[in-house]
Amino acid sequence: MNKFGPPLTRIHLIALAVTLLIALNSVWLNIFGTLDNRISDLFVRLVAQKLNPDPDIVIVDIDEASLAAMQETAGSWPWPRAVHAELLQGIARQQPRAIVFDIMFSEPDRYRPESDQFLNEALHDMRNVYFPMLQLEGRQASGVPLSEIARVIDIPRTASADPNARAILLPPQAIATESWRVGLINFTEDMDGIARRYDLYRDLSGWKLESLPARVMRDLGYTIPPQTDIRLHWRGGQLAFKHISYSDLYADQSRQKPQRDAHELTGKIVIIGSTATGLHDIRATPVSSLYPGVAILATAFDNLKNQRYMHVAPAYFAPLVAVLLIAMQLPLFLHRRVDVFRIGGALLLLSLALLGAQYFAMTRLVSVAMLTPLLFGWGFYFAVALSEYLREKKAREQTIRIFNRFLDPRVVDSLVAHGETPQSLTGKALEITVLFSDIRGFTTLSEKRTPEEIVSLLNAYFSIQVEIIFRHGGTLDKFIGDAIMAFWGAPQDDPQHAEHAVAAAMEMEQSLLRFKAGLGEDGKDFDVGIGIHTGKAVVGFIGSDARLDYTAIGDTVNLSSRIEGLTKGVARILVSSDTVAHCKNAFDFKPTGSYKVKGRLQEVELFTPAQVSL
């Protein structure tokens, strides 16, 4: 016995290899990350179609129509900032909660400084107008000291913040610093180029540079999550938020009698930005490959305001599910009588259920990755299924090779189709009919022919007789010198095994006569004796790992051999009374008398078949 426990099977080794790959994938490879994102994005779109965005978030849209309509008034883009100032004043009269520009004012207008001045004068008394700021790529140590920026804008920091920290920032330099209520609008894309998350802040040596949505919502009194970013929970399509065309709103404010609702922006969070494709503020998101940046900003505001951003499942979740999927399949595969297709069907149903659970979780603001564990689960399934197929194929081929030695190929096909193996056919006590056939006069014949001729003659004779045995459903046990042993009733069940054995013996006798005739004068002494007996015997594969033989052992075998030995001078075929009883009325039997048989106290009554009854 193995003191270290049972040995690992091939299935255990595959499970171990896949589990190690799962661990490696979870900490480094992320093989199926893109596919996971794709299925997640599909569910995002399905869920988003059923949800409406917050009606208190309104986008004033610089759309294609506005660019065309404002051409006469403001010229080509970028428009004079006085235009924004006029619009800003009109919006402010409606008393919105916040006005957020998604337009960069990164440098003063050198050609229209009076326009910048007008905008700053309009901003002077406004405390709810916010502007974007960018952190540029590059060596941050070459940027401005954050301690200096902190004198102008409110930058949250930790107690251990580095006083010498720097960053390359692009603030709204066209705006007077006293109006700098700013936040970052840097947008981080995932590895596949899709934008799914929004930064809440960027930690630079303890200085927390807030994003524009986080800054605005903090000022409005909303709780900001402690994490550095949120996974956005999308709602509707890219035009789901209420959009007001910039030019329409601007024109209405210029009328003596405005036609729009004078309170349509009251209490709203107003975002001024662009959906015009010509202004290139377009991103790829799960909802659309051409999604306006201003709508992404609005989604972040919606998520923070309503606390309905996605919660991502822990990093260990996917590996744990993958390992559980393997653990569920392992006992089924180890119990090899379970059909591999049934296991696959069960795994398919489970996969659909888990994907359904992923969709349901998304409706409850939980983002889980189910595809990766499912793919690992299916990978284990296919690896084991292939391994088992190859194992069974090898075992099947070995079984066919073994069975073909003593069975009719048609019987072999039937046994293999029913999954029989040398192991399943071993050690059974069955009632069978055993036939022994031995050649007479062979010594005389061999004296007249060369060894090669003798071998050829025997092979020809045995081929004829074995074909008859197979045709009558018999099993060839072995050749013993110039004798043949066969039996009926195993490995296939045969209720008429006695009848089939006797019918085979009678045909063997007829084939012998034809064979003798073909030998001419040399065949006059060539003859056979056939003994048949029916009874219990132990049937199975016996031998070593190197060689196995399917054979029958027991008193029934011995007696049939003894009966064959009594045929000389009596009849070519002798059948025991037990065989006669099992044949019922299938044949006419003539009694030949009772005989003393070695190993038995009582004499054995023997018969010879005369003809088949009609």
Residue-wise DSSP of 79-117:
PPHHHHHHHHHHHHTT--SEEEE-S---S--SS-HHHHH
Cis peptide before 132 (omega within 30 of 0): no
- 534-538, 539-543, 558-562 — which is least confidently predicted? 539-543
Residues 420-436 have a mean pLDDT of 79
Using an 8 Å Cβ cutoff, are 269 and 301 in contact?
yes
Total count of domains within the chain:
3
pLDDT of residue 516: 87
CA dist., res. 376 & res. 382, Å (int): 10
In a domain? residue 2? no
Better-predicted residue by pLDDT, 594 or 413: 594
**pLDDT class for 422, splitting at 50, 70, 90?**
low
Q: Give the distance, in angstroms, between the CA of residue 368 and the centroid of all CA atoms in the same chain.
A: 17
Strands 182-184 vs 366-367: parallel, antiparallel or unpaired: unpaired
- The whole-angstrom separation of Cα 614 and Cα 481 is 37
Instruction: Please tell me the predicted confidence (pLDDT) of residue 5.
Output: 41
Assigned domain for 401 exists = no
Is residue 426 pLDDT above 90, yes or no?
Answer: no
Contact 537, 434 (CB under 8 A): yes
Final residue in a domain of this structure, among 282, 312, 342:
312
Same domain, 428 and 288: no
Q: Domain for residue 219, yes or no?
A: yes
Confidence of residue 3 (pLDDT cuts 50, 70, 90): very low
Other beta carbons within 10 angstroms of residue 520's beta carbon come to: 8
Flag whether 41 is in a domain.
Answer: no
pLDDT over threshold 90, residue 339: no
354 has pLDDT over 80? yes
Lowest mean pLDDT among 51-60, 119-128, 436-445: 436-445
Q: What's the rounded mean pLDDT across residues 12-35?
A: 88
In a domain, 8, yes or no: no
Give the CATH number of the domain where residue 568 resides. Answer: 3.30.70.1230
How many whole angstroms separate alpha carbon 484 and alpha carbon 466? Answer: 9
Res 610 pLDDT > 90: no
Q: Indicate whether 363 and 263 sit together in one domain.
A: no
Domain boundaries, position 362: 20-29+324-396
Instruction: Assess whether 427 and 532 both reside in one domain.
Output: yes
Same domain, 272 and 343: no
The answer on pLDDT for 8 being more than 90 is no
If we measure between CA atoms, which residue out of 557, 526, 522 comes closest to residue 539?
Answer: 557
Close Cβ partners of 104 (under 8 Å, ≥ 6 residues apart) = 132, 134, 170, 172
Alpha helices in 480-576 (DSSP H): 497-519, 555-565
| Domain final residue pick, 292, 312, 332 | 312
Contacts for 24-30 with beta carbons within 8 Å, 24 or more apart? 25/319, 25/372, 25/376, 26/315, 26/316, 26/318, 26/319
- What is the average pLDDT across 274-292? 91
Residue 162, amino acid: D
| Measured distance CA(282)–CA(273) in Å, rounded | 11
What pairing do the DSSP bridges indicate for beta strands 229-231 and 197-199? antiparallel
Angle at 457 between CA 456 and CA 461, to 5 degrees: 120
Q: What percent of the chain is modeled with pLDDT above 70? A: 93
Which pLDDT tens digit goes with each residue over 216-257? 999 999 999 999 999 999 998 767 899 999 999 999 998 989
Residue 614: its pLDDT value, please? 31
Tell whether 385 and 300 lie within a shared domain: no
Q: What is the structure's pLDDT at 412?
A: 66
DSSP string, 470-486: HHTT-EEEEEETTEEEE
> Per residue in 163-180, pLDDT tens?
999 999 999 999 999 999
Cα(318)–Cα(264) distance, integer angstroms? 46
Decide if pLDDT at 384 tops 70. yes
388 with 256, same domain: the answer is: no
- Asked if residue 70 is part of any domain, the answer here is yes
Task: Please check the confidence at residue 49 and state whether its pLDDT lies above 70.
Answer: yes
Q: What is the pLDDT of residue 54?
A: 95
pLDDT at 4 over 90: no
**Do 260 and 222 share a structural domain?**
yes
Q: Do 265 and 392 fall within a single domain?
A: no
3-state SS string over 194-261? Answer: CCCEEECEEEECCEEEEEHHHHHHHHCCCCCCCCCEEECCCCCCCCCCEEEEHHHHHHHHHCCCCCCC
44 lies in some domain: no
Task: Using the predicted structure, report yes or no on whether residue 136 has a pLDDT greater than 70.
Answer: yes
Q: Is residue 1 part of a domain?
A: no
Whether 367 and 413 map to the same domain: the answer is no
Question: In terms of Cα–Cα distance, which of 463, 473, 452 is closest to 511?
Answer: 463
**Nearest-angstrom CA–CA distance, 1 and 575:** 50
- The Cα 223–Cα 215 span in angstroms is 11
**pLDDT of residue 131 exceeding 90:** yes
Say if residue 70 is in the same domain as residue 153: yes
Clarify whether residues 300 and 337 are in a common domain.
Answer: no
Q: 474-513 pLDDT, tens per residue?
A: 988 888 888 999 999 988 889 999 999 999 999 999 999 9
Write phi, then psi, for 482 (nearest 5 degrees). Answer: -100, 20
Return the H-helix or E-strand segment holding 60. Answer: strand 57-62
Q: What percent of the chain has pLDDT over 90?
A: 67
Q: Are residues 496 and 419 in the same domain?
A: yes
Instruction: Give me the pLDDT at residue 506, please.
Output: 95
With CA atoms as reference, report the closest residue to 502 among 564, 574, 593, 405: 574
Range with the poorest average pLDDT among 144-153, 387-396, 502-511: 387-396
Which of these three, 312, 335, 369, is where a domain ends? 312
| Mean pLDDT confidence for 549-577 | 92
**Model-level pTM?**
0.72
